[in-house]
Amino acid sequence: MRDSAAGRELLEREMLAKPVSSLQYMLNQLSQTYRFLPQLVPDGVYGERTLEAVMRFQREAGLPVTGTVDQATWDAIRSSWLEQQSRESYARAARVFPSEGIQVHEGNTKEYMIVPQTMFNVLSRHFEGIVPCQADGIHGPASAENVRWLQKAAGLPVTGCMDKATWDALSHLYEIFVVQDLDCQPEFTGGWG
């Protein structure tokens, strides 16, 4: 599905700046399925606990147990995480935005737009290009510009209209950078820089 792939592409680009946190996040998620993996806190520090998790994963995946995250190890972790995520993501998705086909065009007022506007305001602390805007439900110029920024970054059609694909990309970005809930299942493929 295009919005799913676009969300992964956006987050892959954004997560390149934080590869250790990405690695820790995926390994922690995998620890929910694979009990041999220790739970990790995605703190961005490749410490003893992260080393242990990598080595355990390498052993179970039949990879050389080095503790070094080479391309083969990264790809195996990412592949396992994506498989797990695809099985569980539907149940985890936030159901705040209306169903497929709904679009909120610039100038429209919808009370539920307060939620994405607030999320953009919080994310503006993490990303250049997102500007704070009034969280009032009016999809005005600043709100529409934030939507365009996200759509461009995600490889979605740059319309400025809030739609389900844009909402999904925003939700995943928010989960990773703000909520950092260890049970969240954001879509990103990451990368080892």
Number of domains in the chain: 1
Answer yes or no: is pLDDT of 183 > 50. no
Contacts of 84 (CB under 8 A, 6+ apart): 29, 30, 32, 33, 185
Give the pLDDT of residue 193: 34
Quick one: average pLDDT of 23-50? 91
Give the pLDDT of residue 192: 41
Please count the helices (runs of H) and the strands (runs of E) in the chain: 7, 0
Give per-residue pLDDT as tens, 17-27.
Answer: 678 888 898 89
Sign of CA pseudo-dihedral 6, 172, 126, 151: positive
User: Amino acid letter at 48?
Assistant: E
Burial of 187 (0-12, 13-18, 19+ CB in 10 A): buried
Contact indicator for 134, 142 with CB cutoff of 8 Å:
yes
Q: How far is CA 31 from CA 51, 84, 144, 148, in A?
A: 14, 11, 39, 36
Q: What percent of the chain has pLDDT over 70?
A: 76
Answer yes or no: is pLDDT of 139 > 50. yes
Give per-residue pLDDT as tens, 70-96.
Answer: 989 988 998 898 788 766 654 444 556
Burial of 68 (0-12, 13-18, 19+ CB in 10 A): exposed
Q: Residue 190: pLDDT band by 50, 70, 90 thresholds?
A: very low
What is the C-alpha to C-alpha distance for residues 113 and 125, in angstroms, rounded to an integer?
19
Residue span of the structural domain in which 34 resides: 1-193
What values do phi and psi take at 138, rounded to 5?
Answer: -95, 120
Give the pLDDT of residue 142: 96
What is the C-alpha to C-alpha distance for residues 134 and 121, in angstroms, rounded to an integer?
8
